[in-house]
């Protein structure tokens, strides 16, 4: 059976109700003006924020699954990723296994030995993406994954995302870049009463 993430009438504070579904291998872009609540919806789908409505992974309701297990399958990657250890390599379960991913995103292997504050925001953003996909979640909720990157690096990230989609991962993408949404997404959902 193809994995599906479904949300029905999800509300959170002033946001929603939002209903959507996302299949394995599908990319859906969530678009709308700043402040409309796109990030809030992603956080609610990852169960990082109290919310109304229902969310299912296949036929399993979110509430029926322990939250950590849910988040290992439905992974939220924040626009401004957090870091809990001084060294970047300490944020990966298996730093040695990251060589291929680092190369694909144009990062030197030695970057994992560096301190968080010693690398640029663009480098941190790419490392956060690698960290988010390290244990192969079924669905990836990406919040502005390329906002700090130059066009060449954006292309590298998008190529990686296409491979993840081809491998069966479902991606819900929040991006202010309309062209990026068009390039990656199978469908676009507009928030803020603009329909679509």
Partner 1 sequence: MNAVVFSPSDMALAAGLVLLTALASFALAIGLQRQILWAGGRMVAQLLLISLVLRHLFAPGNGWLAPGLVVIMVLAASHEVWARQRGVLPVRIGMAISGAAIGVSTALVAGFAMAALHGGEGGWQARFLIPVTGIVIGAAMNAASVSLHAFLSGIRRDRAAIEAMLALGRSRFQALFPRIRDAAHAGMIPTLNQMAGAGIITLPGVMSGQLLAGQDPVAAATTQIVLMMLLCVVAALAIGVVLLLGLLQVTDGRARLRLDRLGAPK
Using CB under 8 A as the binding rule, the residues of this chain from 58 to 77 that contact partner 1 are 63, 67-69, 71-72, 75-77
Which C-beta is closer to partner 1: that of 79 or that of 190?
Answer: 79
Which C-beta is closer to partner 1: that of 26 or that of 76?
Answer: 76
Which C-beta is closer to partner 1: that of 12 or that of 30?
Answer: 12
Q: Which of 1, 14, 82, 193 binds partner 1 (CB under 8 A)?
A: 82
Q: Is the CA virtual torsion 63, 69, 75, 79 positive or negative?
A: positive
Nearest distance from C-beta of residue 76 to partner 1, angstroms = 5
Torsion of CA 61, 173, 193, 7, to 10 degrees: -10
Q: Which of 10, 22, 30, 46 binds partner 1 (CB under 8 A)?
A: 46
3-state DSSP assignment of residue 31: strand
The residue to which tokens 């990657």 are assigned = 77
Nearest distance from C-beta of residue 14 to partner 1, angstroms = 14
Is residue 174 near partner 1 by the rule CB under 8 A? Answer: no
Helices assigned H by DSSP within the chain = 38-45, 67-73, 99-104, 121-133, 151-166, 178-184
């Amino acid at each position: 059976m193809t994995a599906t993430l479904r949300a029905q009438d999800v509300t959170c504070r002033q946001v929603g109700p939002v209903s959507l579904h996302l299949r394995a291998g599908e990319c859906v872009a969530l678009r709308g003006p700043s402040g409309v609540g796109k990030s809030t919806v992603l956080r609610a789908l990852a169960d990082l924020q109290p919310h109304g409505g229902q969310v299912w992974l296949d036929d399993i309701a979110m509430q029926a699954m322990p939250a950590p297990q849910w988040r290992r399958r439905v992974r939220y990657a924040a626009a401004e990723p957090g870091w809990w250890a001084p060294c970047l390599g300490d944020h990966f379960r298996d730093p040695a296994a990251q060589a291929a991913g680092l190369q694909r995103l144009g990062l030197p292997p030695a970057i994992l030995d560096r301190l968080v504050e010693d690398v640029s925001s663009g480098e941190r953003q790419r490392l956060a993406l690698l960290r988010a996909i390290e244990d192969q979640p079924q669905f990836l909720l990406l919040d502005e994954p390329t906002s700090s990157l130059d066009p060449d690096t954006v292309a590298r990230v998008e190529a990686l995302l296409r491979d993840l989609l081809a491998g069966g991962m479902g991606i819900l993408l929040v991006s202010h870049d309309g062209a990026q949404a068009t390039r990656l997404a199978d469908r676009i959902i507009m928030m803020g009463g603009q329909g679509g």
